[in-house]
Structures are given as structure tokens and as C-alpha cells.
Chains A and B, each alone.
Chain A
């Protein structure tokens, strides 16, 4: 079974731009969570989507948003990028027989200049 995939893997943007990241979960998984990882803050939860609905949300400003499609693929968007948004953005899916174990993708490394 294919794992979680994320595109693009690397991205460079400038301040003020917006960015969209994509995540394809493991086949059959309906939950997709997004995390931001920086050296100073570690792994921070952004939000989780389940069956196209946002189920949980972390403490991030409204510039961070997401959505999930009927095929469970998910996108996250960051508008008006700031230097501090430079991070590794990780997506994780869960579902199937084991609803609890999260399976992570390789991440998208975003650099904001």
C-alpha cells in the first residue's frame, strides 16, 4: 500500500505571497492532519480533517487554512507569508482498521525569504 505523499517537497516563497501544499493520504484513510515543525517550536498541530470537515484545530492564525476533498486528499494554504512561516510542514493520515496510528508523509520544506 502506498504511503502518504506530499507535494511539493521543497518550496521557496517571498514574504506576502501565498502557498498551497498538497497531501495524499494512504488509501482508505479518511483523516488527514497537518503539522508545522520548526527547530524552536517542534511539532505543532495545525488542523485535522475527516470526511471533508475540519475536526480539530490548533492555535494558528487564520492565515493558515485547509480543506479536504471527497477522495480524502487534503490541501493547506498559507496566505500573506511571513519569514516565521519557514518550516517543515508534515501531513499525517490515519484510518482503516487501526484508527489511532498516524502515518506521516515526508513533508514539504517551505522557505520564506
Chain B
């Protein structure tokens, strides 16, 4: 089973920051938080990952709370092309076990 909880859907106005929450209250010390997104009918795309420090790349920022029980993916200036399902996953690195996706959050960017 997925170890994360995400809202099923969210709306965001185009040009505004999209903040997608994820709860992972049972996360262990060795588990990283990964985010992927899936645009309609395409394969999921890796966005970002982190352990406990905040991370930023060209696509997004990842904010992880100090207790690591939740995190927020931030798309700083959402565009219509960011409309997708966003998946939050927690897992240890260098583990051979399977990667399980939850239901994700369907993000609608409104023009």
C-alpha cells in the first residue's frame, strides 16, 4: 500500500503558485520523498525528491516539514501545461523493493 495521503484534486489559477500537499506520517528516517507527475495519457515524469532539506530544481520546489511527516510540492508559476496528476511517494534509496504509486492529486490549472 502507498504510504502517502494526497487530496484527490486541486485547482490553481494560471500564473499563480500551485502548492500540492502530501502527508507521510509514518515515514522512516531513511525514506526519501519523491514526486512524479503524469500528464494525460503519457508516462509519469520524475519531478524532484528530497530527504529532509528543502530542494529546488528547474521544475519545482519541495518543502519538507521539520518532523518529515508532510511535504509540499510547489510549482512557482503554474501554466496550463502543468495540468496533470501528481504523485507523492516515499521510499528508501538503494532498496530493491517495488515502487508503489498512490492515487495522486489531479491538479487543474484554470486559465
Residue ranges of A at the interface with B (Cβ–Cβ < 8 Å): 4, 33, 35, 42-43, 45, 48, 50, 55-58, 88, 90, 92, 99-107, 109
Instruction: Give the dominant DSSP class at A's interface.
Output: strand
Known: A42-B101, A42-B104, A43-B101. A99 touches B43 (CB 8 A): no
Q: CB distance B96 to A43 under 8 Å?
A: no
| Nearest CB of A to B31, in Å | 11
| Nearest CB of A to B48, in Å | 10
| Nearest CB of B to A110, in Å | 13
B50 at interface, CB cutoff 8 A: no
Closest residue of A by beta carbon distance from B46: A101
Q: A42-B104, A102-B36 are in contact. List 6 more A-B contacts (CB 8 A).
A: A43-B38, A45-B100, A55-B96, A104-B45, A106-B42, A109-B41
- A48–B104 Cα distance when bound, in Å, is 22
Q: CB distance A100 to B93 under 8 Å?
A: yes
Known: A4-B43, A43-B44, A90-B43. A102 touches B94 (CB 8 A): no
- A61–B97 Cα distance when bound, in Å, is 19
Cβ of A58: which chain B residues have Cβ within 8 Å of it? 98
Cβ of A50: which chain B residues have Cβ within 8 Å of it? 96
Q: CB distance A99 to B101 under 8 Å?
A: no
- A80–B24 Cα distance when bound, in Å, is 39
Q: CB distance B43 to A100 under 8 Å?
A: no
Q: CB distance A102 to B46 under 8 Å?
A: yes
- A47–B47 Cα distance when bound, in Å, is 23
Known: A92-B43, A100-B49. A33 touches B93 (CB 8 A): no
Of A57, A101, A104, the residue contacting B43 (CB under 8 A) is A104
